[in-house]
């Protein structure tokens, strides 16, 4: 699959919240080449991509005149991008990916990665780097699970690696919209997701099949991060609180927020990573409040914050390697983490 440069040629179709972040991350990898992104019309995201000198390809329904009038030089159409790529990362909105697969990727016989907004069954497997890297090896169509599922998957994998989980009770307190979505709400209300259990529990089972996960979800008026409230029932001799802290602290992409730092909310996490000069103010780690983590009897309690805009970025990078190379999970995750500067404490 890998071209003459020795690098994996990656095209990004759909340049929104996820697409633009994956593009940056691909561009930083030593073994990948960002060969282009797609544009439909001119906007501030395309302006920035253009300033970066990235090749821009027009979707079939693109407003070419609007793009050209605003100084965007279009290099070709989406078919050209797909033809020149080894793999496409599809960042189109939920349930559009499945259409893109039928219309473009399957006819072109091109590998593609989809995002968590797609139904699990549209891909050959779902993906979380730590939980099931190997499942994606050699596959053509893989779905990186959503932000909430990624966060749950990382955590539960780390716990299940050391102790036996009997059952997970989780309430997902979800941000209303991303910060840039100015037109949507709620602004002052709590909106329960009345489908019970919410889709998140079954979605975790697409990457970790054998753990019972019961999830309830509510949407609340904030834009910054999700917060998961977890009660994990353990089987057998329970660990100490300190043992759990140690296990999570040494896990990829999990960051323990120590009480002494004064980080009591999602707002302070966002401020912390901006102070640390994270690109875009992103935090791709699960952020767990150490002060709120405790083992009581057979139950492990904890709260974790999940940055919905960026948490899946490293998983997309690892998924590219799983699908296109022979690199091992451990090698890929380490490389991704080193290049992206994960995790907070190692920066």
Angle at 212 between CA 241 and CA 124, to 5 degrees: 115
| Residue 140 sits in the site that holds its own copies (CB under 8 A) | no
Residue of 125, 147, 287, 319 marked catalytic: 147
Q: Which residue has the tokens 């999570």?
A: 248
Angle at 201 between CA 195 and CA 206, to 5 degrees: 125
Select 25 or 225, whichever has its Cβ closest to its own copies: 225
Select 299 or 325, whichever has its Cβ closest to its own copies: 299
Select 51 or 195, whichever has its Cβ closest to its own copies: 195
What's the half-sphere exposure (Cβ side, CA atoms, 13 Å) at 32?
A: 32
Site string for its own copies, 63-102 (x = CB under 8 A): ----------------------------------------
For residues 227-246, which are near its own copies according to CB under 8 A?
A: 227, 229, 231
Candidates 265, 279, 325, 328; binder of its own copies (CB under 8 A) is 265
Residue 147 among the catalytic residues: yes
Q: Least distance (Å) from its own copies to the CB of residue 328?
A: 36
User: What stretches of the chain adopt beta strand conformation (E)?
Assistant: 8-13, 32-39, 56-58, 74-77, 87-90, 111-114, 125-127, 141-144, 164-175, 191-192, 213-220, 226-235, 254-257, 286-289, 294-296, 299-306
| Residue 220 sits in the site that holds its own copies (CB under 8 A) | yes
For residues 163-202, which are near its own copies according to CB under 8 A?
A: 169, 171, 173, 175, 186, 188-197
Q: Across-strand partners of 167? A: 233
Candidates 38, 266, 286, 308; binder of its own copies (CB under 8 A) is 266
DSSP state, 280?
G
N-terminal to C-terminal alpha carbon distance within the chain: 33
| Residue 268 sits in the site that holds its own copies (CB under 8 A) | yes
| Residue 4 sits in the site that holds its own copies (CB under 8 A) | no
Strand 8-13 and strand 87-90: the pairing is parallel
Candidates 1, 64, 218, 276; binder of its own copies (CB under 8 A) is 218
Question: What φ, ψ does residue 277 adopt, rounded to 5°?
Answer: 60, 35
User: Are 34 and 25 within 8 A, CB to CB?
Assistant: no
Pull the structure tokens for residue 321. Answer: 């390697």
Q: Least distance (Å) from its own copies to the CB of residue 187?
A: 9
| Residue 303 sits in the site that holds its own copies (CB under 8 A) | yes
The residues annotated with a catalytic role in the active site are 147
Q: Which residue ranges make up the site for its own copies (CB under 8 A)?
A: 169, 171, 173, 175, 186, 188-197, 214, 216, 218, 220-227, 229, 231, 259, 264-268, 289, 291-292, 294, 296, 299, 301, 303, 305
């Amino acid at each position: 699959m890998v071209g003459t440069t020795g690098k994996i040629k990656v095209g990004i179709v759909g340049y929104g919240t996820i697409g633009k972040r994956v593009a940056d991350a691909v561009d930083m990898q030593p073994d990948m080449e960002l060969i282009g992104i797609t544009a439909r019309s001119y906007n501030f995201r395309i302006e920035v991509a253009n300033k970066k000198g990235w090749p821009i390809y027009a979707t079939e329904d693109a407003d070419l005149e609007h793009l050209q009038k605003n100084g965007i030089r279009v290099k070709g159409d989406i078919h050209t991008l797909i033809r020149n790529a080894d793999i496409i990362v599809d960042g189109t909105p939920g349930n559009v990916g499945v259409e893109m697969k039928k219309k473009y990727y399957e006819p072109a016989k091109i590998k593609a990665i989809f995002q968590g907004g797609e139904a699990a069954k549209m891909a050959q497997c779902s993906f979380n780097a730590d939980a099931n890297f190997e499942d994606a090896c050699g596959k053509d169509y893989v779905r990186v699970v959503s932000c909430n599922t990624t966060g749950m998957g990382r955590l539960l994998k780390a716990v299940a690696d050391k102790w036996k989980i009997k059952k997970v009770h989780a309430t997902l307190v979800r941000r209303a919209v991303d910060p840039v979505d100015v037109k949507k709400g709620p602004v002052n209300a709590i909106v329960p997701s009345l489908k019970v259990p919410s889709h998140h529990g079954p979605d975790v089972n697409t990457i970790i099949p054998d753990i019972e996960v019961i999830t309830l979800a509510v949407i609340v008026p904030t834009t910054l991060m999700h917060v998961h409230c977890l009660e994990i029932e353990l089987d057998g001799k329970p660990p100490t609180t300190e043992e759990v802290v140690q296990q999570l602290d040494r896990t990829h992409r999990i960051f323990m927020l120590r009480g002494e730092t004064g980080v009591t909310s999602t707002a302070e996490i966002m401020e912390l990573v901006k102070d640390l000069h994270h690109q875009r103010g992103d935090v791709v780690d699960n952020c767990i409040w150490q002060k709120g983590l405790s083992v009581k009897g057979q139950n492990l309690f904890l709260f974790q914050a999940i940055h919905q805009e960026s948490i899946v970025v490293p998983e997309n990078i690892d998924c590219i390697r799983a699908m296109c190379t022979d690199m091992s999970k451990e090698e890929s995750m380490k490389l991704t983490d080193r290049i992206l500067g994960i995790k907070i404490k190692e920066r």
